[in-house]
Amino acid sequence: MANIRVREAAEYLGVSKSFLDKARCYGTNGPAFMRFGKAVVYSTEELDRWARTCTVANDNKQSGAEAA
């Protein structure tokens, strides 16, 4: 398990640093993080766990008639 900073965590997940900053600031559904003074770090184990919760089986929003 490695601990990485925000920019590295964003690259690891393939999201923007801004997304992680906003998720922390607003308390939205973002990955768990640790704060040491002003430093924010993410555990790669927690990032992987969070990413698994974002798995979608099917995101097709079209109805059967529209898809045909």
Domain ranges of the chain: 3-54
6-13 and 17-26 helices, crossing angle to 10°:
110
Measured distance CA(29)–CA(54) in Å, rounded: 10
pLDDT in tens, 31-68: 999 999 999 999 999 999 999 998 888 767 665 555 55
* 4-41 pLDDT per residue, tens: 999 999 999 999 999 999 999 999 889 999 999 999 99
Per-residue model confidence (pLDDT) at position 1: 79
